[in-house]
């Protein structure tokens, strides 16, 4: 049986520009959900950036191979 990962929310303090808070409240924007969404996107972008940096050499070598030798098994392609 697989366990589900449970994410509990934790209170925290953020410093946000007051004009953004005012406008968010006027528009009915959920500030906590928006902050979570922004942090989640920032984490994904940072993970992507780090993955690309860590795998740069392998990606470059793979691209070089394809440029020089073509795609493996391309002679069997029907398109």
17-51 pLDDT, tens per residue? 999 999 999 999 999 999 999 999 999 999 999 99
Buried/exposed code over 46-78 (b: 16+ C-beta within 10 A; e: otherwise): eeeeeeeeeeeeeeeeeeeeeeeeeeeeeeeee
Whether the full predicted model's pTM is greater than 0.75, yes or no, is: no
- Average pLDDT estimate for 37-66: 97
Residue 27 exposed, middle or buried by CB count within 10 Å (0-12, 13-18, 19+): exposed
pLDDT score for 29: 98
Please give the Cα distance from 6 to 12 (Å, whole number): 19
């Amino acid at each position: 049986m697989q366990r589900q990962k449970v994410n509990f929310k934790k209170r925290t303090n953020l410093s946000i520009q007051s004009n953004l808070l005012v406008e968010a409240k006027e528009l009915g924007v959920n500030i906590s959900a928006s902050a979570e969404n922004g942090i989640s996107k920032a984490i994904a972008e940072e993970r992507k950036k780090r993955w690309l940096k860590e795998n740069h050499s392998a990606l470059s070598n793979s691209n070089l191979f394809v440029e020089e030798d073509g795609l493996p098994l391309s002679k069997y392609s029907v398109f």
